[in-house]
Amino acid sequence: MSASLPPNPPPVTLRAFRPSDVPFVSGIVAEALHEHYEPSLYQSLSVEWNDGFLVASDPHDVPIGFLLGVTQVDREARVLMFAVERNHRTLGVGTLLMDAFLERCRVRGFRRVTLEVRVSNATAIRFYTRYRFSVTDLLRSYYSDGENGYQMALDLVAPAAG
Ligand SMILES: CC(C)(COP(=O)(O)OP(=O)(O)OC[C@H]1O[C@@H](n2cnc3c(N)ncnc32)[C@H](O)[C@@H]1OP(=O)(O)O)[C@@H](O)C(=O)NCCC(=O)NCCS
């Protein structure tokens, strides 16, 4: 299932993560998700499933958003991190990333995609709901500051034959 793209998509390139992206990805994570991870984390996760770590870059090849997916359960993907740099939001970049990610999940034959989101993050919850993710669990004190999270999931249904 694909969300509709805005009428004038920005000049954005989607590509796989590269080690040189780490400073930019770290910056987006700090600003958008308020988290700080060891740079080596991004590298090691990208090796596990390179296709699942998608970067959206501007015309100068500077990352402006990314979606980092992992596979921890058989035939399931989990969106571990997903963020677009503040000045580039509501332009369709997140939609481009999510569309491409779900397509890769389908190509790999995954049956389900899961993610976690803060209960206060109305923007992201609305975004995921548009893709027909639904809440499957309430995760009490899931975040380090004590906030609850929702687990959300999307079942990937194979297109009808014929
Ligand atoms: C969630 C997030 C990744 C979405 O990225 P984005 O690039 O803003 O996503 P899009 O532009 O594709 O879509 C966002 C909204 O803008 C709307 N939009 C997109 N292009 C638009 C345009 N040209 N004009 C007006 N609205 C537009 C979309 O319809 C969508 O609205 P909806 O969610 O109410 O349906 C972004 O808000 C973000 O980085 N948030 C902070 C980090 C975060 O919360 N991550 C998720 C953690 S679980």
Average pLDDT over residues 32-44: 93
Q: Where are the beta strands (DSSP E) in the chain?
A: 13-16, 53-57, 63-73, 76-84, 112-118, 134-139, 149-155
Residues in a beta bridge with 78: 70, 114
pLDDT digits (tens, 9 = 90+) for 4-28: 555 565 589 999 999 999 999 999 9
- Whose tokens are 């491409």? That residue is 100
What global pTM score does this model have?
A: 0.92
pLDDT digits (tens, 9 = 90+) for 59-116: 999 999 999 999 989 999 999 999 999 999 999 999 999 999 999 999 999 999 999 9
- Whose tokens are 């400073």? That residue is 23
Mutate to test the pocket of ligand 1, among 84, 114, 129, 132 (most ligand atoms within 8 A of CB): 84
Name which residue sits closest to atom 14 of ligand 1, judged by CA: 90
- The domains located in the chain, with CATH, are 13-155 (3.40.630.30)
